[in-house]
Structure 1
Amino acid sequence: MPTMNLVPVTSNDYRRIAERRMPRPLFDYVDGGAYGEGTLARNVSDFARISPLQRVMRDVSGVDTATAMVGTDCTLPVSLAPVGMCGMFARRAEVQAKRAADTVGVPLTLSTMSICSLEEVAAVSDKPFWFQLYMLRDRKIVEELLNRAWAVGVRTLVFTVDLAVVGERHRDTRNGIAGGASPWGRFRAGRLSYLTQPQWLVDVGLRGKPHLFGNLAEYVPAATSLPEYRDWVGRQFDPSVTWEDIAWLRGIWNGKLVIKGVLSPDDAASAVDVGADAVIVSNHGGRQLDGVSSSISALPAVVDKLAGRAEVMMDGGVRSGLDVFRARALGAQGVMIGRPWAYAVAARGESGVASLLGAFKREIEVAMALCGVTRMTDVTGDLVQVKDL
C-alpha cells in the first residue's frame, strides 16, 4: 500500500509516514540507535519471546485498562516518554502531544531538551504532566528547572541517569547532527535534505518557530541554533555524578522521583536506597551502549530485586498494546513509549498521537480478554510463557 494512502494503525504505520514527511537527519535522529543498533533491534524483537497464554470461557464482559503509575491515575499503563527535539518533528509537537495525552488520559513526560518550554506545555490544560531532567554540571540550573517545573504543577520528576556520556550514534554523525562530518557534509545534511520536504518546511520550519530548546533558552542566550544548544548541553552532562547526587536531588525535590535508565538490579536497589519512588528499566532506547540487554529481558531481575520496595516501569521496544500487556505480566507497573508517539506526531500531529494511544488501548483490551482477565491487577506472570529472554 502506498504510504500516502496508508490509514495508520500501528506504530510501524506511523513510522512509514513519518519517514516520508521528515527531513532525513531528523528522522534518523529519532529512529536510530548507538553503534550497529543491535540493542535497538533486540528491544523490539525480544518481546516476541513472550507468548500470551490464551484462556477461554471466562466472563470478560467488563475489561478495564485503568491503573495508576507513580501516583498518577491513567486510563492505561502508558506514559509518553521524554523525546528531545520533538518540536522539530511536527509544529510545536510537545503541545500537540500534551493535548492528545490529556484526551486519552495518560501522562506526557516533557524532555529537558524539548522545543516547547515547561510553561508553554502547562498552558495547554491544568492536567498534570511529568518532567524529565538530567544532572547538569551547573547545579543552580538544575534547581531553577525544578522550581519552574513545580511552579507549573509538575509533581513527578523523571531523572535520567544513563547519560554520563553521549552514546556513539553513527546515523547522527553521518547526517551532521552529532558533528564529525565535513563542512560540506554538514551543509548538505543541514540544508539540502530539508529542502526536499516542502510540507515540513512550511508547517514546522516556518510556522513552528522558535526552534530553540525552550527550557534552556535563558541559560544559553548567545545561542542562535540547535547545534549551539546541543554543544552547550553536551558540555553540561556531568560524568562525575554518583548516587550521592541523587540523594541531594531527593532532598530538594518534594514530589515523586523516578529514576530512568537502570538495567542492573543492584543499580535499581541503589536508586531506591537514595529515595526513588520508582525506577524505569531502560537502555535509553538503544541509543547509548550497543550490545547491552534489551529492556524487557532486564525487567524481571529488577522486579525480583526490588520486591515491592518501589514501582518498576520499563521503556524500549514497546510498539503495541500487546507489548504493554507483556511488560505488565513480567512485573512492570507501566511502560513509556518514545519512538511510537514521535512517529505519530510527525505523521499526523495531535490526532495521530491520540489515535495511536487508542489503538494501544484496544490491543490491551483484546489481550486481556483473550487471556481471561478484566483488570490490570490480574495481568500477572501466569498469563505468559517466556522463551529464553
Structure 2
Amino acid sequence: MFGAANLVPANAFTDVTIYSFPKSDLLATTPTASAMTRFPIVGLNSPNSRGFSVQPAVDFGPSDGRAVLLATDGAVTARLRRTNILGAGAAAATLSPTPSTAINTAALSTVPTADQPGNKANLNTGDTRFSSNVVEVGDSLWAVRGTGLDGRAAIRWYEIDEVTNVILQTGTISDLNRSYYFPSIAVNAFGDVLIGASGSSATEFVSTFAFIGVTAGDVTTFGSEILLKAGVDDYERLDGSGRNRWGDYSATVLDPTNRFGFWTFQEFVSGDNDWSVQITNIVVAITGDYNRDGFVDAADYTIWADQFGQTGPAVASDGNNDGVVDAADYTIWADHFGEGTPPPPPISGVNVPEPKALAPVAMVFGCLLRRRRR
C-alpha cells in the first residue's frame, strides 16, 4: 500500500512526501507499520521533484513489480510527472530514478471560480492539480483534473498507456452555463468509466453530478450529465485568504459486489453555508445483458453458450462475477429475460415483444452523510 501528501505545516509548504507500506504487514494479526518507507521530496521545481499533489494509482490487477504515482509538474501545469515505487510489496522500497518521467499534455487554462445563485462570493474550485486518485486498469492509467473553458470550471480526463506513457485519449467535460469541479474517476474491466463531481451555476446551487463513459474500439464516449443530488441553498465560508473555498472531498470507486457498479462520493450544499456528502450507487448495465445492448434477449443467451466454461475476471457472460461461466449464469439470464429497452426494429420484419416488463438500464441509489466543514 502506498500514498503521498503535501506537507504544509503553519500554512507554509515544505515538501511532498511519499509513503510505502508492505500490505502483508497491515493485514497481519498484529498490524504494524515498522517496515514503512518514507520518501521526502523537497522543492517542486528541483531536479528531483516528483510533482505536486502526487496521486497513487489504485490498481486491483496482478502485481507487476511497481506502483505508479502521477502528479502535475510543479512548474508547467500542462506537464505530468510519473514516479514508480519499486518493491512496494516489501520493506526497503525504492523510487524510480530522477528526474521523474515527464508526460506532456495539451495546455490547460486556469480553473476559474464557480458561480452560484445569490450575492455570496463565487466558489473557489481549486486548480489543475489532481485532487483525486489515479486509476490503473490493465495497461491504462486514468485520471481527471480541473481546467477552465470559456470562463467556467470544467473537467479534463486522460487515458495514458501505463507501459509507454503515451496519452491514448483525452477529453474535456464542460457545460455552457454550469461549472464542474473537484472530479474523481473510476473504471471497470469493461471500459465503463464513471466521473463524479460537484457543479453549480448562476441558477443552480452546488449539486452533485456524474458522467458515464462507454468505451468501444478504444474510444470512450461520455453521455450527458446525471444529476445525483440537487443543492438547496447558497454557501459562503471565507478562509484566511478570503477565498470561498469548496472542498476536495470527491471520490469515485468500483462496487466490490457488482462488476458493473460504482459508488461516487460528492459534495453539495445541504443548508445555508452548510455542506454534506452525497453517496450514490450507480449500475451501468442490466444483469443478464451480456452483449451490453441495453436489453436481455436471445442474443445474450448465445454469448453465454459460446463462453460456457470460460474463466477469468472479465468474461462478459459471468453474470454472478464468480470467475467462471456456468449454469448459474444461465439462470441469471433467464431470470432477467426481457428486461431493458429493446433496440429499434429493423426496417423490414416484425418486432416480437419479449415476455417481461421493462426495467431501467441504470439504477441509482443515494444516501447522505452530513457534517460541517470546520
TM-score surpassing 0.5? Answer: no
- TM-score normalised per structure 1: 0.22
Q: Which is strand-richer, 1 or 2?
A: 2
